[in-house]
A = this chain, B = another copy of it.
């Protein structure tokens, strides 16, 4: 928007495939939320002979892209990149698999302490609207219970489950909590709540936070990024616009950006069932 352009070629990305974060330093823009701001952006793009736009991000990015593509005559394609995996029309978003491995690695470390000293750990992971990170990392780290935004009854079920394990003599446990969990309590309040209702537990809280957003990408994410990147350019070459490039059943697909934004959540109930069975 400020006219700060830099031309990149194949060599420019030569050494970034193993790096986290984004060297583009793209960030939210309040100005872009206004029609004046978007007009300013469009003028910069035309002035610099940009004939198509690839936007990389999640819900907010795509919503901006939809507005922009309705107001101006510029082809626009989206690539889903958010660690929460909360975009419709694609099985996976960029960064999600890497975040899962970071979370599981962190919980493995915490579990060393939990099992050494018979402690109950509440671990908050990312996921405001989707429990994908919590559910997968919870199964992957052998959590006793998992609280996710898609369910209301999590807290009472957890209490019941802890009561049972306590009776069977098990005093060390991991509870994975998505930040968007629906109890209305934050994770420290959740820990207190359990402390009040269950005696004998040595309870600790850990908020994993921003370590989930960085780190060397997993092989899966690197290959996914390569597939989606090729897919985005080819969509533009085909004259497509207003679509997101996604992965569905291992194939690259093109999905209208409006579907990506408005689509139903893809809560995987089968995965919840697996979690319930394996956490026994």
A209's contact among B111, B207, B252, by CB below 8 Å, is which? B207
A137 to B17, CA, bound (A): 12
**Known: A222-B104, A250-B91. Is A215-B142 also a contact (CB below 8 A)?**
no
Provide the residues of chain B in CB contact with A100, threshold 8 Å.
219-220
Provide the residues of chain B in CB contact with A207, threshold 8 Å.
207, 209
Q: Is the CB of A112 within 8 A of B20?
A: yes
Q: Does A198 contact B (CB under 8 A)?
A: no
Provide the residues of chain B in CB contact with A148, threshold 8 Å.
none
**Known: A22-B116, A27-B117, A118-B27. Is A214-B91 also a contact (CB below 8 A)?**
no
Within A234-280, which residues are at the interface with B (CB < 8 Å)?
Answer: 249-252, 270-271, 273-275, 277-278, 280
Provide the residues of chain B in CB contact with A273, threshold 8 Å.
230
**Known: A213-B112, A249-B249. Is A101-B274 also a contact (CB below 8 A)?**
no
**Known: A109-B211, A112-B19. Is A219-B27 also a contact (CB below 8 A)?**
no
User: How many residues on chain A are close to B (CB under 8 Å)?
Assistant: 72
Provide the residues of chain B in CB contact with A110, threshold 8 Å.
210-211, 213-214
Provide the residues of chain B in CB contact with A227, threshold 8 Å.
271, 274
Q: Does A186 contact B (CB under 8 A)?
A: no
Copies in the complex: 4
A210's contact among B14, B206, B209, by CB below 8 Å, is which? B206
Provide the residues of chain B in CB contact with A223, threshold 8 Å.
136, 139-140, 271, 274
Q: Apart from A18-B141, A101-B101, A136-B223, what 18 extra A-B contacts exist at CB < 8 Å?
A: A14-B142, A17-B140, A18-B111, A20-B113, A23-B116, A25-B115, A27-B118, A97-B219, A103-B219, A108-B214, A108-B216, A109-B212, A139-B222, A139-B223, A141-B222, A220-B220, A223-B271, A226-B275
